[in-house]
Amino acid sequence: MSHHSDSSSQFSDIPGTTVFTTLSSRRAYQLHRFCQSLMKESNRAEFKADEAAYLQRYPMSAEQRQAVRDRDFNRLVELGGNVFFLFKISNTDGSSVQQTVATMSGMTAEAYAAMMLAGGRSPAGIRSIQRGD
């Protein structure tokens, strides 16, 4: 049993959704320092020139570093990342937010864009794991 009550646990009933918490923020602090460094053009240029060397400047975990190299945004969220920090990486790559979000949904960018044009993903059936609706 958990030694503290975590009011964020009620969100685990919502499928396909990770809530960014104070603890995630702590886990991803160095990852997020790296992401925020990309708000400077000179840093973006250095990152693009040698990603591996640039990432060594930030003492994040090896898993986080690899997920950045892989542009695996779902994995980065699993490792504590928050999308608004992570978009600094995709912005640096010149990818749109929609293209980046599509990679997390498991759909191609084209299929995702078509779904959005058709009104987006319906909440029907993906509200609650427990209720099954």
Q: Could you list the residues that contact another protein (CB under 8 A)?
A: 7-8, 10-11, 14-22, 24-25, 29, 32-33, 35-36, 38-41, 44, 73-74, 77, 82-85, 87-92, 94, 96-98, 101-102, 104-106, 112, 115-117, 119-123, 126-128
| CA distances, 6 to each of 1, 24, 28, 88, 130 (Å) | 11, 13, 19, 30, 19
Q: Are residues 14 and 128 in contact, defined by beta-carbon separation less than 8 angstroms?
A: yes
Q: Are residues 15 and 126 in contact, defined by beta-carbon separation less than 8 angstroms?
A: yes
The smaller minimum CB distance to another protein, of residues 62 and 117, is found at 117
The smaller minimum CB distance to another protein, of residues 61 and 91, is found at 91
Residue type, 32: H
Minimum distance from residue 104 beta carbon to another protein (Å): 5
Minimum distance from residue 63 beta carbon to another protein (Å): 18
Token pair, residue 1, equals 């049993």
Minimum distance from residue 106 beta carbon to another protein (Å): 6
Minimum distance from residue 72 beta carbon to another protein (Å): 13
Q: How far apart are CA 123 and CA 104, in angstroms?
A: 17
